[in-house]
């Protein structure tokens, strides 16, 4: 099944971080992807998102302002199966150049 992509707006992209606002209208998704770097997610709204992984789908309850982090290599698709928009900010941490 093909779903509509969520809207990604890059706010900052420099040598240290990439900050992207993700807006998920009902039924939209990120598409399958692997995170090449560690990252932090800051939910801007409260609600549920479905995380599709190779092990199956899991529904995650997220709370506005309650951040979480994941390590590089995370592979998944994020889907908004709810009836309302969901928004989060993703902060990707790029490796420091020495």
* pLDDT tens figures, 69-91: 999 999 999 999 999 999 999 99
Q: Count, in order, helices (H) and strands (E) of the chain.
A: 0, 9
Q: Each residue of 9-56: pLDDT tens digit?
A: 999 999 999 999 999 999 999 999 999 999 999 999 999 999 999 999
Tell me 43's DSSP state. Answer: E
Q: CA-to-CA distance for 21 and 7, rounded, in angstroms?
A: 8
Is 31 in a helix, a strand, or coil? coil
Q: CA-to-CA distance for 98 and 87, rounded, in angstroms?
A: 34
- Confidence class of residue 2 from pLDDT cuts 50, 70 and 90? confident
Q: CA-to-CA distance for 6 and 87, rounded, in angstroms?
A: 10
For 90, the token pair is 């993703």
Could you tell me the pTM of the whole model? 0.94
């Amino acid at each position: 099944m093909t779903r509509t992509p969520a809207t990604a707006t890059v706010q900052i992209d420099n040598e240290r971080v990439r900050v992207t606002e993700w807006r998920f209208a009902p039924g939209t998704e990120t598409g399958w992807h692997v995170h090449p770097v560690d990252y932090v997610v800051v939910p801007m709204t409260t609600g549920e998102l479905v995380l599709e992984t190779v092990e199956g789908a899991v529904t995650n309850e997220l709370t506005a302002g309650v951040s979480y982090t994941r390590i590089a290599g995370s592979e998944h698709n994020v889907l908004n199966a709810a009836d309302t928009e969901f928004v989060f900010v993703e902060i990707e941490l790029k490796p420091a150049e020495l």
